[in-house]
Structure 1
């Protein structure tokens, strides 16, 4: 197995890593960088618990090799600070056990950044890429809509 020494741009910081060419980004983030917000779930791209942002787009980190992340901007849940979606998840009780929550927040943050005026259909489509086994999706959908309102200035940030 070949080893690769590389610099990764994670949450706005350059991080030196030495990884195997077969390491998935999820393992690099968790095991080499100690950032445990992205969670292992299905490890085949179905559940979305491992969602991070790569160059501003949501990516299931179990589907990307760590070596593919070189030269890209990686944002994990630890890199989000005081975003409307984080506060909206709290205010709308959009989680139960919390295992899937970081992946949902990353996906929803990307949704709001990409489609600030998303329709209910677009929101539902984006939410289908993540799975929550504890609760319904109504609270999560409500949180997305509340965060969109905050982002668009329809009421002040708290």
Structure 2
């Protein structure tokens, strides 16, 4: 992989990396910057474990290259400010194994930022593609609904 200088704005901080512009941002976040909250799951954008925000919109970090994030704000789970949502996540005992939780929270936070009072259908549509092997989907949905009412 030919490398070049890549500049990332992550969680409000600027990082300059010597990396291939085709590198998935997931690997830059985890391996080069040290932000390991964003998880690798399937590598094909299907499971949602690697969900980050790019200018406030949820994207899959495994499918998004460094060149695609140039000049844009990247937010990871470490920089997510969604206190009401996080509180409801705990109140509803959502986490079990925890592997999918960063991606689930990132998708849920993006939904609530764009649609503060989502319907059940909007929640379902926003969360599709975020896989939870522990099957906590009813608790995830309840936490999102409660956060929207808080």
Give the structure-1-normalised TM-score: 0.91
CA contact (8 A) 1:96 1:135 kept: no
Unaligned runs of 5+ in 1: 151-158
Q: Which residue of 2 aligns with 1:142?
A: 142
Determine the C-alpha separation between the residues in 2 that align with 1:37 and 1:148: 24
Residue 22 of structure 1, CA deviation:
2.6
User: Aligned pair count?
Assistant: 150
Q: Which residue of 1 aligns with 2:133?
A: 133
Unaligned runs of 5+ in 2: none
Answering whether residue 35 of structure 2 is matched by residue 35 of structure 1, we say yes
Residue 66 of structure 1, CA deviation:
1.4
* Displaced runs of 4 or more, over 6 A: none
CA contact (8 A) 2:82 2:109 kept: no
Q: Which residue of 2 aligns with 1:153?
A: none
CA contact (8 A) 2:2 2:20 kept: yes
Q: Where in structure 2 are the equivalents of 1:1-158 lying within 5 Å?
A: 1-81=1-81, 83-150=83-150
Give the structure-2-normalised TM-score: 0.96
Residue 82 of structure 1, CA deviation:
5.2
Q: Which piece of structure 1 moves more, 111-120 or 77-86?
A: 77-86
SS in 2 for 1:7: strand
